[in-house]
Structure 1
Amino acid sequence: MFKLDNFNADGVEQVYQRCILMTGTTDASTDHVLLKSESRRGKPATPEQRWPVSNGHFKALALLAPGMNTVSLTSGNDDDDKLALRIRYVPLPKTPPLHLAILIAKDSPLSIDCPPRKFGTFSSTHSSLDAVIAKFRVTALMWQALIAEDMRKKDLGRRSFQLQEEWATDTLTRESVQISTTRPQETLGWVPQIHLVRTDKTVAELRHMDLAQPNQRAKSKGPLHDVFAQSLKEYGGPFVARSRPVVAGLVLDSHYDPKRNLVLGHEPFGLHEPDGLSLAVFGSHLTYAWPRFMDEIPECLLDARLSGESVSNENGQCLSLWETCAVSQRDFLCEVHRAFGGTPDQFVRSGDIIEWPKAFLSRTAYCHQSDTDGEEYDLSDPSWLSPPSDSFRGSLSDALFLRASRPHFKLPGDKNLPLDAPVIEIAGTYEKATISIRSVTKIRKVTTTQGPKPDPSFSSTEHLWQTVLDKDYITKNVQFPWGIKVLADNGVQTEVQNIWAHLHPATTFTIPGHPHITLEKKSVGPRTGPPSSNWHPWTVMLKKRDAQGKLVRASKIALHVGDVLDGAMVYYRDGSFATCGKPGNIPGGHQKRTMALKKGVDVTCVAVTRWSVDRAWWPLLGLRVWGSDGRGMGALNARHAGGNKTEFLTAGRGRRIVGFYGHHGSHGNLCTEFGIVTAPRGVRLPGEVYDVERWEVLTSGGEEGEKGEDEGERKPKRRRVGGDKDSTVAKNDAMELDDGSDSSSDGDGDDNISEDVDSGYDDFRRASQSAIKIYEELYKGKQYRE
């Protein structure tokens, strides 16, 4: 009795690709099953194929004709033990296909490398151009079936690329090829089309272009790839750039030179061109081991005979004929995957070649590479699942991305998915934090690395995951790095390597006599190590009292950034200024930018770049500030070696930024910490904060305010600022708390203060334009208006 694992034998299943991979079990005591596919359109049934059975399990590939098909399975020669499966094959003629092409030199001998033991009856049996065409067709169908089954296992539906077909002699089965020699009209049918593309280069020229070492994958596009692409464009037809074709290209005249131990004319490289021709290039020097017919697949994947010394062994990976077949089919598929836009180097590993035959058969042959005996199907071994693992195909993210972005993998009824990246929002301090994961498309998977035990509990919907961490939870787990990776349904991923690094030290305190008004401070700075002995704390507010005691607002901010962060200057409407740094020291910085603060424009976001590794009280790298008008100024220096930790400080809901604070250390008086001071939005701050005795809020360097006797709020420790010993700059550095009102002393002066020219993109020289757009869209000021 038969039982299928991946098809429903009781109904009619609909598929959209020509070749299908079937897996199942049989109770019969047999070493093989017979498979035959028959169409209702009157076309003769495909000849019976033998597929091995191991421990009652079998795997088999079946070819379908458009319309309803009946796939019959029989246990050995026992006609009483059989299964008839009905499958409707619906081609998708409007879906762009994967094109197959062979590049041929102008003086090509039209033959490929082939060891003597593979000759068969004639030396050209496996080495002629006709043999290469037949092998390429069967290999492409194997890829198609494998990807469709992989997509099904990932819950994406049985989907794969289409193949361009032509009406020609059917070379897909051994019997049809034999009949074609005497009755050619009876063997005409639809077969994958192979484009034979001539180049004006000679064999010697093609082999001179790339002297690739065995098993060496090209790191970038080379001359052979360019020649192939140019030849396709000259060929015309489906290869015009506006059609955006994806092509699997085989170089017919590649050759192994045993004297130099080099493969000539072989450049394994796949390149995706979104607006043009996408091409995967591979040499034909291992193609001799590929199956010519569907019924030859088991034979080729179980042939443990040695390949010999006249052909390439790919650094010991291709010692036997089946290993040669598996390595070359797998590695070529990897380049095709890259041509579709998949992640490079996603599924080629040197030690797992045994998994390729496991994907198509229920047993394997002796492996010379690992010196291991052949294996029988084992239900308890996950490597026998079809397909086994991510070793020769794309990951889940790649599969989702191909489904969402490539029309080649669309099925009827699929909706267009936006390619927006999911967003991980981390807000709060070491006392309380909120982690929100949002995605325009459905959140497919959330994974964590290391991190707290137990994991926090997320409240989740399809588009939003959220959790709140309290102080006790953070304190217990902050010493363990905790990363989160989010995969959206469109295949786009977002990753935060350490959640804790995005939390900011905060000081929350109340103004004496006004317990309902809280001020908060949070910063970006060093995570480890004590401050140096000559560090200098500073606080600068965006409003201050002038000589007459009236409030004046800041009119512009000068951001001084060189190779690292020097500091900043805040200029006020009365002509005075305050230094975000040591009093009296005006910062330098060759990347200085000046940002005007026009009336009604608030500072809404501050971005600070620090070193990617924790360095005790080292200077910060860059600073950028956004206003509520959406304009940003500054230089982040994100391109610096190791400086890829850009963190963003915002006031949070219901609050506004009213000042800056931080520290300057001993490294040339450079900035080691930069932060923001926030106050409730729409709340008038009391006037006593602007008394002659000014209050400077303690920084978050570890000191805490004294607790009140009658309530648990922190009382800010105060330091007297002023007197004869204090310089004018020091007075201007004193913290001024914004009461939310506009001072009459602002006057009617000109708000259009001259600004330095700033493209805004000098910090992203290594980033793509899409990365720049993400930075600007996510963090420009208008995102934080309320």
Structure 2
Amino acid sequence: MVAVQVPKTSSRHLVLSNISEGETVYQRCLLIAGNCPSKSDEDFVAVATPDFPEQLWPISGGRFKCLVILSPGTNKITFESHQNGKTVDNWTLTITYIPLLQTPPLHLAIMIAKDSPLLIDCPPHKRGAISSTHSDLNAAINKFRMTAYMWQALTAEDLRAKGLERRSFRLDEEWTTETLSRDFIQKSLESSGDHMRSTAKIHLIRTEKTLAELRDAQVAQQNPHASHGDGLHKYFSEALKAHGGVFTSAAHPVVAGLILDSTYSAEQNLILGHAALGASNRQGLSLGMFGSHLTYSWPRFMEEVTSCLLDTAMPGDTVGNDNGECGTMWETCSIGQGAFLHEVGHAFGAPHTTGIMDRGYAQDWPKNFLTKTAYCSHTQMAGDYVMDGETKNDASWDLSDALSFRTYPHFKLPSDAFLSKEVSQALPSVQVVYDDDEVEFLRLVIESPAQIVRIKFDNVAEAEPTIGKPATKIQFTRNELEARFDSSKPLALEVLGWNGKSRVFNDIWKLFSKLSVIPVPGTSIVLHKRSIMSESLEAADETTFEENSWNWVVLLNKLGDGGSLIPAVKIDSRVGCVLDGAVVYYKDAHTNPCGPRWDRDGYDHNFGGHASEMIDIPEGTEVVKVEVSSDNHDLNGLRFTLSDGTAGGYIPDEHTSSALEASPDERIVGFFGRSDWGAHFDGIQEFGILTAPRDVEIPLSVYSMPELQNKDGGNGQRGHLKRKRSRIDNGDDSQDDEEVEEMRY
């Protein structure tokens, strides 16, 4: 968290902690925090501007937070600390507010059925016997407007704390009756002109759908049997486009949409007319929508913000308990306001990450606006004193989301440098570089034209780079990484760019094994890799393929228990309608498959192959050539040739093959490749040879290198650790089944 340092004098009792005198801000609603020593939770800070009525905000644990509505230009904000019935300190802060009218706004819209009763759900104790102040259309408009300004202030403060400056979306505003304070509502009833302001516009969108159509259980998102669970999002999008104006696709609007006619059906125990859905379309309409069924718990105006976020009354049985987390009014308010902002996050392109985009708002939402929270019925925990930067608060934006927002014009600040489309969309580059001129042969190189702001290994962030100290290029040598991390275990890597784009690797050791060379640590020996790849693999998306592949390496010698080398004595080439793989047999009767060792259920993998063939490797001979054939998409043939001229395996007559051979000064010491995993055949998609210098003795340490093992294929431990009777099918149906022991490599 980034704190704003404010000079403190010995006579100062009230000190602001997140803003400085003379700052310029670009959003209308501002969240201010400060310190104010106090001995009672009954104490408060009074905050006022010349253009907005005085508001009272509680002091708890020596801290306070407040929301301030600004007017364009210079704003003189007065803070008065009231303790034990006395004013003990005051402070005047000058802030300049400049609306960024050149940036596109977030639009607020309410969709209304064509035969709507213009009422929203509300428990009896909230609306009283006849009052509709919390349940009619005006109430929905006022609550939506107040909530949107709370979103704006929360987002700006969160991004400021992350080091991204105080930035947020602006709201589409119009000259109309101001409702952000009850004083303005009262003045509007008195026909005084003082109630008019430029404030957030709420578009009322009539849909051609009837109340019955909107409340059809088949479009209710929370209905597990709904046939059109995303139907309401389609209805809302169509209604906005039909409304036209700012909602035409050519305007590329981003919309927060509230469905007025949501309701809880006690008979069906289902919330009807509601869907929490959001979708981003930078070339058209982006909509994040939510039902109105929790809106009764939201504040109508500033004077109700604190009370709504501290209200421990039970909503009761007449309204829906969304997600089972609405046991009190304040929790209902948190779910409603937070989940709606979650959908707006989707409209701004945010995926499911952490914080707000992972339901972090459910219990933590009030921590953004209060310094002490109320009892939570869902967790059965007492309220917390809130210390920003120390108290856990998941009602915030994930850093990647906050960074990606910067690429939207809605969040642009005048000080922002121009970011080209190529840079704004660039993914971080992560690759292993081999340089035989360097002492350190292998380096992990991470770079991005947008700069890198965070690197995590195994979900732990490095000290640098950071938002305050980004980097264009970061390097780690293989030795550095092995000194810090266990190379026998997967090492996850996450790289985050300044543009919000990220790259995630489940195991970066794989990147080293995929290099065309493998330097042997502590020596000058380099092993080389050559392979033949199927056309389908060459055309595949690497990330998608990695999730469904088994990476393997098999050496032609294995390390025995006493440290001696045990040679391979035969190879079984497994070929059927596709290249299934191969199995290497060692002199001690152990085997190692060129392919998966087990399936996704944990059972031993069985190789098929009606055209399979076994080839013996006599002592003193070696494999000198490997031929691989393919059809239009898949590898479908494999043949080995030995130094004595013997060849074994199968290549279909109608297909040509490609040969893999060592150079004159090298010898083949093993094989490597990738197989489908979890597919119908689990066929080989890449088959290659591993070569070493011919006249150099390979150290025994090579046979323990993680990247030269076929342990788990990069997929973790065996699924259910099941074993079953299996055999290698060589076409001899008379051969008895034998128990195959779990392979140990």
> Structures share a fold, TM > 0.5?
yes
The answer (yes or no) to whether the contact 2:218–2:225 under 8 Å persists in 1 is no
CA distance in structure 2 between the aligned counterparts of 1:108 and 1:413, rounded to whole angstroms: 46
| Structure 1 match to 2:545 | none
The answer (yes or no) to whether the contact 1:139–1:290 under 8 Å persists in 2 is yes
Alignment of 1:101-120 (within 5 A): 101-120=109-128
Greater Cα offset, 50-59 or 126-135: 50-59
Q: Which amino acid aligns with 2:300?
A: R
Q: Which amino acid aligns with 1:402?
A: F
Q: Which amino acid aligns with 1:415?
A: A
| Structure 1 match to 2:414 | 412
Distance change in 2, residues 1:499/1:593 (3 Å) = farther
| Structure 2 match to 1:514 | none
Alignment of 1:22-421 (within 5 A): 22-29=32-39, 31-38=42-49, 45-76=51-82, 78-120=86-128, 122-208=130-216, 210=218, 212=220, 222-344=230-352, 346=354, 347=356, 353-377=362-386, 381-383=390-392, 388=393, 391-403=394-406, 405-417=407-419, 418=423, 419-421=425-427
CA distance in structure 2 between the aligned counterparts of 1:503 and 1:237, rounded to whole angstroms: 55
The answer (yes or no) to whether the contact 1:506–1:700 under 8 Å persists in 2 is no
CA distance in structure 1 between the aligned counterparts of 2:123 and 2:69, rounded to whole angstroms: 30
The answer (yes or no) to whether the contact 1:456–1:467 under 8 Å persists in 2 is no
| Structure 2 match to 1:445 | 454
| Partner SS for 1:196 | strand
Distance change in 2, residues 1:422/1:291 (3 Å) = same
Q: Does 1:521 align with 2:521?
A: no
Q: Which amino acid aligns with 1:173?
A: S
Shift of 1:191: 1.2
Shift of 1:50: 1.2
C-alpha distance after superposition, 1:2-40 (max 9, x if no partner): 1111011xx3011000001111111355534344442xx
Shift of 1:322: 1.1
| Partner SS for 2:216 | helix
The answer (yes or no) to whether the contact 2:275–2:289 under 8 Å persists in 1 is yes
Distance change in 2, residues 1:669/1:46 (3 Å) = closer
Q: Which has the larger radius of gyration?
A: 1
Distance change in 2, residues 1:360/1:220 (3 Å) = farther
Q: Which amino acid aligns with 2:157?
A: E
CA distance in structure 2 between the aligned counterparts of 1:589 and 1:147, rounded to whole angstroms: 66
The answer (yes or no) to whether the contact 1:35–1:62 under 8 Å persists in 2 is no
Q: Which amino acid aligns with 1:20?
A: L
C-alpha distance after superposition, 1:179-227 (max 9, x if no partner): 1101242211111000000011110011116453759899997111111
| Structure 1 match to 2:630 | 560
Alignment of 1:717-728 (within 5 A): none
The answer (yes or no) to whether the contact 1:15–1:87 under 8 Å persists in 2 is yes
Q: Does 1:499 align with 2:508?
A: yes
CA distance in structure 2 between the aligned counterparts of 1:411 and 1:380, rounded to whole angstroms: 25
Q: Does 1:620 align with 2:632?
A: no
| Structure 1 match to 2:541 | none
| Structure 2 match to 1:483 | 492
The answer (yes or no) to whether the contact 1:448–1:484 under 8 Å persists in 2 is yes
Greater Cα offset, 212-221 or 233-242: 212-221
The answer (yes or no) to whether the contact 2:25–2:96 under 8 Å persists in 1 is yes
Distance change in 2, residues 1:675/1:83 (3 Å) = farther
Q: Which amino acid aligns with 1:257?
A: S
The answer (yes or no) to whether the contact 2:45–2:58 under 8 Å persists in 1 is no
The answer (yes or no) to whether the contact 2:65–2:371 under 8 Å persists in 1 is yes
CA distance in structure 1 between the aligned counterparts of 2:181 and 2:481, rounded to whole angstroms: 69
Distance change in 2, residues 1:699/1:561 (3 Å) = farther
Shift of 1:286: 0.8
The answer (yes or no) to whether the contact 2:360–2:395 under 8 Å persists in 1 is no
CA distance in structure 1 between the aligned counterparts of 2:198 and 2:163, rounded to whole angstroms: 30
Shift of 1:331: 0.4
Aligned Cα RMSD in Å? 4.4
CA distance in structure 2 between the aligned counterparts of 1:254 and 1:699, rounded to whole angstroms: 72
CA distance in structure 2 between the aligned counterparts of 1:593 and 1:439, rounded to whole angstroms: 42
CA distance in structure 2 between the aligned counterparts of 1:560 and 1:697, rounded to whole angstroms: 34
Shift of 1:339: 0.6
Shift of 1:56: 1.3
Q: Which amino acid aligns with 2:430?
A: I
Distance change in 2, residues 1:701/1:250 (3 Å) = farther
The answer (yes or no) to whether the contact 1:323–1:353 under 8 Å persists in 2 is yes
Q: Which amino acid aligns with 2:674?
A: L
Q: Which amino acid aligns with 2:15?
A: K
C-alpha distance after superposition, 1:560-579 (max 9, x if no partner): 26886446899xxxxxx999
CA distance in structure 2 between the aligned counterparts of 1:168 and 1:589, rounded to whole angstroms: 82
Shift of 1:480: 2.8
List alignment gaps of at least 5 residues for structure 2: 1-12, 532-550, 559-582, 586-613, 660-669, 704-745
Q: Does 1:14 align with 2:24?
A: yes
CA distance in structure 2 between the aligned counterparts of 1:668 and 1:176, rounded to whole angstroms: 70
Distance change in 2, residues 1:423/1:316 (3 Å) = same
| Structure 1 match to 2:729 | none
The answer (yes or no) to whether the contact 1:423–1:439 under 8 Å persists in 2 is yes
| Partner SS for 2:306 | helix
Alignment of 1:461-480 (within 5 A): 462-470=471-479, 473=482, 477-480=486-489
| Structure 2 match to 1:2 | 14
Shift of 1:348: 5.1
| Partner SS for 1:48 | strand
Distance change in 2, residues 1:126/1:564 (3 Å) = same
Alignment of 1:582-621 (within 5 A): 583=647, 585=649, 587=651, 620-621=674-675
CA distance in structure 2 between the aligned counterparts of 1:450 and 1:377, rounded to whole angstroms: 26
Shift of 1:354: 2.8
Instruction: Return the match for 2:430 from 409, 424, 434.
Output: 424
Distance change in 2, residues 1:194/1:669 (3 Å) = closer
Q: Which amino acid aligns with 1:420?
A: A
| Structure 2 match to 1:761 | none
CA distance in structure 2 between the aligned counterparts of 1:471 and 1:56, rounded to whole angstroms: 46
The answer (yes or no) to whether the contact 1:526–1:673 under 8 Å persists in 2 is no
Instruction: Return the match for 1:674 from 672, 684, 688.
Output: 688
The answer (yes or no) to whether the contact 2:512–2:518 under 8 Å persists in 1 is no
Distance change in 2, residues 1:215/1:378 (3 Å) = farther
The answer (yes or no) to whether the contact 1:539–1:696 under 8 Å persists in 2 is no
CA distance in structure 2 between the aligned counterparts of 1:310 and 1:234, rounded to whole angstroms: 34
C-alpha distance after superposition, 1:546-604 (max 9, x if no partner): xxxxxxxxxxx98626886446899xxxxxx999x9946564599x89999xxxxxxxx
| Partner SS for 1:382 | coil
Shift of 1:142: 0.3
Distance change in 2, residues 1:503/1:350 (3 Å) = closer
Distance change in 2, residues 1:20/1:678 (3 Å) = farther
Shift of 1:259: 1.3
CA distance in structure 1 between the aligned counterparts of 2:658 and 2:411, rounded to whole angstroms: 48
Alignment of 1:566-581 (within 5 A): 566=636
| Partner SS for 2:453 | strand
